[in-house]
Structures are given as C-alpha cells and as structure tokens.
Amino acid sequence: MRKSKKERQERLQLTIQENPFVTDEELAQEFNVSVQTIRLDRMELSIPELRERIKYVAEKNMQDEVRSLPIEEVIGDIIDIELDSSAISLFDVKKEHVFTRNGIARGHHLFAQANSLAVAVINDEMALTGKAEIKFTQPVKEGSRVIAKAKVTGSEKGWTTVVVSSFVGSDLVFRGEFTMFRAPSSEKGEKHEARN
C-alpha cells in the first residue's frame, strides 16, 4: 500500500539521512514510485542529488589530506580517510567500465579503485605498490556502486600492508592485500609522485 506524499517525503528524508549514498533508483524501488517522483520529492525537500551529497560527506569527513598522490588521481570518490589507518571510496560502474557483450565490469577498474585507495591511505609523500594479492569474488554489473574499504594492518621498515575489501551492497566483490613501499619526502624537499 502506497504512503501519502507527506509520509513518503518524511521517510525519504530519514532514509537519505541514514544513507546519503542511496540512489534515486534505489529510493524509487523502496517507495514503489517512479524515479521522477523521487526527484520531485528531493527538489521539494531541497535535498541535493547524489553527486552533491557525496561531495558534501567527503568534505565533511576528510580530516586528513591525501599526501601520497593528487586526489584527482584516486579512482573513485574518497568519502572518508584517516591516514595510516583506514579509508573508504565509492566507484560508480558506468558503460565505459564494462564489457559491451555482457555488461560486467572490467577487473582492472576494481583493482585500480582498491590500489589507488591503498596508496592514498599512506601518510608519506611517496607510496608505491610492491606486491598485491587479489581475488575477485563476484562479477560487478553496469550501474553498480562499489564501496571499497581500506584498512592498514601492519607496518615495518618502510613497508605497509593495506587490506582493501570492495562491496556492492553487502556482497564482497573484491579483496586485495597490498604491500606498499613508503618513503618520506627527500631531504632536498623534492616532491615525488605516487605510481601504481
């Protein structure tokens, strides 16, 4: 049974507060209305579109700045980071990221999201991938949102281990353990660019 417009909009506001990364399509399915209705509801409630919500949450949660590579070189949108500890990024799988015949994401895009997040979480001027042990656990389709979560699990003598788990919804789709070489900026103050 459909809710009244007022009830729907109240629930819509609460749903977006709880999960700012929910898409209009997911909301339309949840509330059993059209995507256009959800967009109109958002406009009436002055709730920005998904991209603006992601940007807002990212700016609010970015306590630390990425040091090891320019932020625009990170694959996906970093929404939370604590250097040398943990980080989260979102990556929307679009038409250009999938195989045309089956609509399944090419693996190198998921790897690039995870690998660049592993670089970004390192609190040094330079971080390079020394070794990666990866596993793809499920295919990812066009239109999916991949949430990658990086966790620093160990560090010694210039090497740091970062484990990245990537999810679509609650399903694990990728897992990687990255051994990262790290080096502080040189004494001459030269800037190094991170390479993957």
The residues spanned by each domain of the chain are 5-47, 62-183
Domain 62-183: give its CATH superfamily.
Answer: Hotdog Thioesterase (3.10.129.10)
Residue 47 pLDDT level (bands cut at 50, 70, 90) = confident
CB 108 within 8 Å of CB 91: no
Question: Residue 159's closest CA among 127, 185, 187?
Answer: 127
* Between residues 95 and 57, the one the model is more confident about: 95
Residue 183 pLDDT level (bands cut at 50, 70, 90) = confident
CB 67 within 8 Å of CB 52: no
Q: Is domain 5-47 given the CATH code 1.10.10.10 in the classification?
A: yes
For 42-104, the DSSP string reads: HHHTTPPPHHHHHHHHHHHHB-S---SS-GGGSSSEEEEEETTTEEEEEEE--GGGB-TTT-B
Residue 185 pLDDT level (bands cut at 50, 70, 90) = low
Map tokens 């920005």 to a residue: 48
